[in-house]
Homo-oligomer: A and B are copies of this chain.
């Protein structure tokens, strides 16, 4: 049965995705057999379009499928604040929270001690250029609260010292809806450190 080529090819490729095991890949492929043809055509089109249409914004590094960029082109956004994130999906998450209306800068990677500190692969030069040219008042470092994210933030904070700009970091603390007894000790001590008057 190794000869059902298109099905096996699909299973092999789904198997490469994060969080998808061999068994799930099979289940997904068989489910797709029952999809209407239009749906399959539309996924196929989305896949071929993915690389052809999506590219990085030369200013902020966010993914875009138009000539400019949905965020950089938006004149209603605050032009004095810039938030630095590691990946495009982080921009999506913050946009969904509806709590920030400034500019973004996407590094498209993180510095990693274990994988080598390659600062050249990150989208940092264009950040410095933006800070040189613009009238920014604050840079918010919003990399992930992981070792690599922290390393990246520390590196950037050091690099930005020479600019006369306020550099901030997202707050650590409890997660809304979480349970105190499930919070790890480090987060708990950070939450205590960052306590505020109510």
| Chain A interface residues (CB < 8 Å from chain B) | 1, 3-7, 9-10, 13-14, 16-20, 24, 26-28, 30-33, 35, 37, 39-51, 53-54, 63-66, 70, 87-89, 91-92, 95
Instruction: Decide if B31 touches A70 in the complex (CB within 8 Å).
Output: no
Could you list some 25 contacts between A and B, CB below 8 A? A3-B65, A4-B64, A5-B49, A5-B65, A6-B46, A6-B49, A6-B50, A7-B50, A7-B65, A9-B43, A10-B50, A18-B27, A18-B28, A19-B27, A19-B28, A20-B28, A30-B87, A32-B47, A32-B50, A33-B50, A33-B54, A33-B63, A37-B51, A40-B48, A44-B48
Instruction: Decide if B13 touches A39 in the complex (CB within 8 Å).
Output: yes
Closest 4 CB pairs of A and B: A6-B49, A44-B44, A10-B46, A44-B47
Give the contacting residue for A10; candidates B3, B24, B47, B66; CB below 8 A: B47
**What residues of B have a CB within 8 angstroms of the CB of A3 in the complex?**
65-66, 70
Chain A contact residues, majority secondary structure: helix
Measured in the bound complex, the distance between the Cα atoms of B66 and A4 in whole Å is 9
